[in-house]
């Protein structure tokens, strides 16, 4: 009888180890799916700023900053705001802008502008204030009137909302898998118990 009990205990231990391993794999897979989806969404947010910068750099390279104002008008920045463009000269002074924060153009960190010049372009997440997050791309320009950096961005609110939705779906899937594995463990555990021997 002792041998039977030891065999059952060993079987249950193996099942427990298998359950832990499967749960760990499910967790790793869930985290990987979320990270990939979040990164893909964040990189996609750079598409509009990159296109705006490319267009504005081409204009500035041909005409200079005076005739190269991005678009008419300016709008207040928020996480839900539409695209904006800021043109800086070589001294990092604002030449033109369609971005406002408290009725003034917010200044992008000097380090970001320097990186754009040294690398030929840089992509960052900019948070000029709490609750305002922007996907920003910056690229240097050179034209008849001088040189500088063009910055374009767009609010990350919609992108981050999609990321939260993906997180909820992934979490729900992870919970379902863990519950299914737990149910399988219980069923198999009962199966290894069998009927209690007499005597």
Tell me the backbone φ, ψ of residue 162, rounded to 5 degrees.
-65, -40
pLDDT above 60: residue 182: yes
Residue 2: which pLDDT band, with cuts at 50, 70 and 90? low
DSSP H helix total and E strand total for the chain? 4, 7
What pLDDT, on the 0 to 100 scale, is given for residue 8? 63
Least confident of 31-35, 52-56, 75-79, 183-187: 75-79
Q: What is the pLDDT of residues 53-103, one digit of tens each?
A: 999 888 888 876 554 444 456 778 888 888 999 999 989 888 888 888 888
Give the whole-angstrom CA distance, residue 153 versus residue 56. 13
Q: Which two tokens stand for residue 65?
A: 């900053």
- Mean residue pLDDT of the chain comes to 84
pLDDT of residue 195: 44
Bigger pLDDT: 67 or 174?
Answer: 174
- Name the residue with higher pLDDT: 172 or 158: 172
Give me the pLDDT at residue 75, please: 78
Read off the pLDDT band of 199 (50, 70, 90).
very low
Write out the two tokens for 36.
């990939």
**Does residue 197 register a pLDDT over 50?**
no
For residues 166 and 141, is the Cβ–Cβ distance under 8 A? Answer: no
Query: Worst-scoring range by mean pLDDT, 10-19, 111-120, 145-154?
Result: 10-19
> Left if phi > 0, otherwise alpha if psi is -120 to 50, otherwise beta: which for 47?
alpha
Quick one: pLDDT at residue 26? 93
The predicted pLDDT at position 3 comes to: 55
pLDDT > 60? residue 194: no
Q: Is the pLDDT of residue 173 over 50?
A: yes
């Amino acid at each position: 009888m002792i041998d039977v009990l030891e065999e059952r205990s060993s079987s249950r231990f193996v099942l427990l180890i298998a359950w832990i391993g499967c749960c760990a794999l499910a967790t790793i897979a869930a985290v990987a799916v979320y990270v990939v989806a979040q990164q893909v969404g964040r990189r996609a947010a750079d598409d509009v700023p990159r296109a705006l910068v490319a267009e504005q750099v081409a204009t500035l390279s041909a005409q200079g900053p005076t005739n190269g104002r991005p678009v008419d008008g300016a709008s207040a920045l928020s996480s839900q705001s539409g695209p904006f463009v800021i043109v800086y000269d070589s001294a990092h002074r604002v030449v033109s802008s369609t971005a406002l924060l408290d009725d003034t153009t917010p200044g992008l960190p000097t380090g970001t502008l320097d990186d754009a010049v040294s690398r030929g372009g840089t992509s960052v997440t900019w948070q000029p204030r709490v609750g305002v997050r922007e996907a920003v791309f910056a690229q240097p320009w050179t034209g008849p009137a001088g040189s500088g950096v063009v910055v374009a961005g767009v609010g990350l609110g919609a992108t981050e909302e999609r990321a939260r939705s993906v997180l909820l779906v992934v979490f729900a899937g992870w919970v379902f898998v863990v519950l299914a594995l737990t149910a399988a463990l219980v069923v198999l555990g009962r199966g290894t118990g069998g009927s209690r021997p007499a005597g």
